[in-house]
A and B are shown apart, each in its own frame.
Chain A
Amino acid sequence: MPAPRVSLPAADLARVVVFAAFIAVLGIFPGIYFGASGVPVVIQNAGPLLAGVLLGARRGTAAVLLFLALTAIGLPLLSGGRGGLAPFVGPSGGFLFGWILSALVAGLIVSRAPKLNLPVIGLATLAGLLADYLIGIPFLGAYLGDLGAAAVQSLVFVPGDLCKVAATAIIAAVVHRALPGTLPRTAQTE
């Protein structure tokens, strides 16, 4: 068996770059209208979940890292034209760092699962969201000096986030059907 490649082949590099750009465009583009509501929903935080379930753990995490790095060096890529270091040191910065774990967890679940169907993808996106909370809420707690208060404040986002998780899973399942072979399926090749 040949040694595993350390460097990123061109196709992987392109996926990582283009998906980092995809997450950025989700923020730049005005929100999507869901159903009858007149309020556009910001869907950028679905980006890391999509990166994980569509690209797999390694490339998905790399795409999120690249996106966050570009934001941190001063490009206004976060929704609402925010960027620079401020969003990372602010109270909700933990949720941004959590995106990395989000993509990793969602990607690991999808690529380890024996079959790629909607329940598996749904589980992966839900676990990805929980991974984001796992980093974001303690970070907010450190800011506020009280973990309980941080958890209570974060409850506001739970209903919206759950809707996004469900929508992300459905979208990812459709995309996987439209473009089979998007995800490197280690389970099948072995």
Chain B
Amino acid sequence: MPAVIKGKAFVLGDDIDTDQIIPAQYLSYNPADPEERKYFGMYAMVGVPAAQSGLPKGDMRFVPEGQFTSPYTIVIGGRNFGCGSSREHAPLALAEAGAKAVVAEFYARIFYRNCVNGGYVLPCQCPKRLVDEISTGDECELDIEANTLTNHSTGKQYPLDPLGDAKPIIDAGGIFDYAAKAGMLKT
């Protein structure tokens, strides 16, 4: 994982569920097929109601219509990000679109676990409600070592929660690499 993640922020509200991140009608694509997998990027976040998509203004698409990748690198969310179904297609869709990290107040359990174990996007938590502090399009920088998020558009810096128990798995790149390093897997 890079020590620093820089890019534009895309801001969402509370309880962004996996149906909003990747609506069920697109789950027939097989993520194991590299050609089909790209479509999860194309449809990432199309389920978010327009008024709540790209706060504070809204009516902004995470991925421009007809494209496979997003101009946004860091997703900012509120409470309970990724609630709902266990579909791993959700963190996968964010990663396919090019997002590197999510910073939320806290996560729904399975989404968080999928981010960590699958190594898709870095799931950071910030005790401060960033949804009210950061605007979609702001240039942000995550410093993994210092555990801070800086909004260069406003000059403000926010401390993040420590990654805690998940850190060794995140550092390894996911559960398979972690288990291999720990000698649990023969591969």
Q: Do A and B come from one complex?
A: no
